[in-house]
Amino acid sequence: MTVAAIAGMHVTFPGDMRQDEVWDGYFRRHYDGPRRGLAKRIFANSGVVNRHGAVNPLIEDASSWSTAKRMSRYLTEALPLGKDAVSGALHAAGLRPDEIGLFVVCSCTGYATPGLDILLARDLGMAADTQRLFIGHMGCYAALPGLGAASDYVAARGRPAVLLCLELTSLHVQPPTDDPQQMVAHALFSDAAAAVVLVPDGPGVGVTDIAAATDTATADHMTWDVTDLGFRMGLSPRVPDVLSIHVAALVERLLGPRGLTLGDVDGWAVHPGGPRILDVVRDELALPESALAESRGTLAAHGNCSSPTVLLIIDALRRRVEGPPRTTVALAFGPGLTLYGVLLQA
């Protein structure tokens, strides 16, 4: 059976911002009065050291922008960022844009019609018969069903595919509030674009299987609402508790049918929704802390970039000094409450 293999990856970011500078220069004033102490502790304990923003709050305060203004800025910033990510991945894979059969784009932080899939396909020079798929509003786990759709296409059609995940969370800074969930969102989220090229039966890492679990009884634990002032995150502190119920069974569904155990996995790409989520995954799977080194490192260096984040970790694993892992489990979580897992094997 044809297997889709990762032939090239590329990640790119807008401007760098240090977490402490963003706090001192903007959010310290944003959260004035009694709420400042709580917000300061949330920022300090977020696990984020550096982050990225197409809109830097030290220069522009987007908290009062209308949704229309934010969407206009989304297109302005997303097109060059997406073009750079896809071009870099294609170069790494040694492919031309017109050789791509399917172009998948994931993004939940902006909307435009014609969408990024059409505009980037045009600007990159993809063929007129290139198929396109746009995946929106799946949030942080979107990269994994996107990877599934692209790998299924490659396996069925025998043609290359590209997946692009691009998020500009910096567009959605909200007005000051006493809501701790907004403080957490402002402390964690960051901007990035990541692209992956998949080819049929190529060398390198193959997409072996995908599994999902959705706990609809907890659908209100993670939300992303369109308001007149951009998109507003709802993030319940109970999310890690829900993940703790489901994550071990999800991983077993990936490994068990292939006779694999946790000990066979030498690479873990766990979406760092926050430090506590990583702690829960570590504890429920009885992993050593070292297994989450790339996940914690990505959170520290880049923040939670929503859908691109798990691809950033997969890329970090590929570049590991001691060599890339032979068996990787990628895990990501988002609205639903949904868990997704992907098994990658050399």
Please give the positions annotated as active site: 140
**How many whole angstroms separate alpha carbon 224 and alpha carbon 189?**
13
**How many whole angstroms separate alpha carbon 249 and alpha carbon 261?**
12
Q: How many CA atoms lie within 13 A of 297 on its CB side?
A: 15
- List, in sequence order, every residue forming a beta bridge with 72; answer none if it has no partner: none
Q: What is the DSSP letter of 286?
A: T
- List, in sequence order, every residue forming a beta bridge with 168; answer none if it has no partner: 191
**How many whole angstroms separate alpha carbon 125 and alpha carbon 26?**
40
* Cα 238 versus chain centre, distance: 21
Tokens of 259: 């006779």
Q: Tell me the residue type at 137.
A: H
Are β-strands 205-214 and 338-345 bridged in parallel, bridged antiparallel, or unpaired? antiparallel
Nearest to 167 by CA among 25, 8, 332, 6: 332
**How many whole angstroms separate alpha carbon 307 and alpha carbon 145?**
11
Token look-up 């209308």 returns: 66
